[in-house]
């Protein structure tokens, strides 16, 4: 049986080569992808393959790798990181294959609880495999039930595969509708929480246009807890007549206002992520929450320390996503991957020299790789998963996230510093440090 680490390295190399040969949407890639996926599944067995989502490493079923982006809804991630603490309880309604479930399980470790509602049997099966692969199955409960305004049963359409477009009552216009659905149990968030004495800290809702039904069945849970964070993915194009008015009335009864976080003009008329905040502002401004979080995490301990607004003004959106939000750039996307001139690679955030050119090597991963940094320039944070030790690396001067270091590099160190190219700036030879 192939070892997980060896398979991960093979997958990185194959992905890097494929990205150079053809675009993901090309006919060549579409034809070969199912064959490659079947081979990965056979080799991976119960271990899955490693992916990086929002700077976090997880193991997933190879069959759904195309549905897992390297950067996933960063505006939601910012709120999760700001408001979740170890031991918190999270409810994910419409959990799909579990990207937010995995993030929430890690953010609330070691004793937090996550409840994942996913009524599609095929999708719930993938979600359970992901939990086992990442060692989270003891703290996450997967409920193969739907949430709505009233308990009972309903038919779920779009269940042929884990496509993420399953919908109660009728087929989703954005997905294929089968001839008939399957019957699934339905409960309400109020009944579920009351029966188990649950008081969630955060609720995520993504139910393909049935947002009002879920909120209608959660009035006690939301109304009795002004500190509860509620994030809803709104699908107004899937709403029936009068649904917008119904939602506005429902928010009024809940004492909440909808604030769009995906750049939409009107949170109830445009598709996107929405935070339902107490109308009196009791939950506090998000920027203030983020600033307090950065302070509590010790960002001020770095010699160069700036507010989030200052970093946003200084950096490009791509640089900000990587350096300050731990995102990961697409492999093969940065010109510095192919930079071969003598010189010094500096932090794009603060200009500190990080790596010198003669320590760079071709790893085949699609990211600039080095076998050693400039002495004292790098800080590390160790993170242990079920299958491997992962070590995050950041700039010791400003705390900017750079990438990760792995113990599979060349001599003399045996290390591979796998770095996002967008986090670096290159200065050609002439600096004394490059000698």
Active site residues: 418
Edge-first strand listing for the sheet containing 360-361:
360-361, 369-370, 416-419, 401-406, 389-395, 378-384
Please provide the size of the chain in residues.
435
């Amino acid at each position: 049986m192939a070892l997980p680490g060896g398979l991960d390295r093979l997958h990185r190399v194959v992905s890097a080569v494929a990205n150079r040969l053809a675009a993901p949407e090309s006919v060549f890639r579409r034809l070969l992808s199912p064959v490659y996926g079947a081979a990965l599944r056979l080799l991976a067995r119960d271990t899955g393959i490693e992916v990086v989502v929002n700077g976090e490493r997880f193991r997933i079923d190879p069959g759904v790798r195309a549905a897992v982006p390297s950067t996933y809804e960063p505006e939601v991630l910012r709120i999760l990181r700001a408001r979740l603490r170890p031991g918190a309880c999270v409810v994910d309604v419409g959990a799909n294959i579990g990207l937010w479930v995995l993030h929430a399980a890690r953010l609330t470790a070691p004793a937090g609880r996550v409840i994942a509602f996913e009524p599609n049997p095929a999708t719930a099966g993938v979600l359970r495999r992901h939990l086992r692969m990442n060692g989270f199955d003891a703290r996450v409960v997967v409920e193969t039930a739907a949430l709505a305004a009233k308990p009972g049963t309903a038919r779920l359409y779009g269940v042929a595969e884990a496509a993420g477009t399953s919908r109660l009552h009728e087929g989703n216009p954005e997905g294929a509708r089968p001839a008939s659905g399957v019957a699934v149990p339905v409960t309400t968030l109020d009944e579920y929480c009351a029966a188990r004495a649950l008081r969630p800290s955060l609720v995520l809702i993504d139910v393909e246009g049935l947002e009002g039904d879920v909120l209608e069945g959660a009035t006690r849970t939301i109304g009795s807890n002004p500190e509860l964070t509620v994030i809803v993915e709104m699908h107004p194009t899937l709403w029936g007549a009068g649904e917008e008015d119904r939602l506005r009335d429902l928010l009024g009864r809940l004492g909440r206002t909808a604030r769009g976080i995906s750049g939409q003009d009107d949170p109830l008329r445009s598709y996107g992520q929405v935070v339902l905040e107490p109308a009196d502002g009791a939950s506090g401004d998000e920027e203030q929450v983020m600033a307090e979080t950065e302070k509590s995490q010790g960002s001020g301990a770095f010699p160069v320390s700036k507010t989030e607004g200052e970093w946003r003004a200084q950096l490009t959106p791509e640089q900000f996503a990587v350096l300050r939000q731990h995102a990961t750039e697409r492999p093969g996307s940065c010109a510095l991957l192919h930079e071969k001139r003598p010189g010094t690679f500096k932090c794009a955030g603060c200009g500190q020299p990080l790596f010198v050119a003669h320590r760079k090597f071709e790893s085949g991963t699609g990211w600039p790789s080095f076998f050693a940094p400039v002495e004292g320039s790098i800080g590390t944070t160790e993170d242990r998963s079920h299958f491997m030790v992962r070590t995050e690396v950041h700039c010791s001067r400003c705390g900017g996230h750079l990438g990760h270091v792995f113990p599979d590099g060349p001599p003399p160190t045996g290390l591979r510093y796998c770095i996002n190219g967008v986090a670096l700036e290159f200065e050609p030879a002439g600096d004394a440090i490059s000698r």
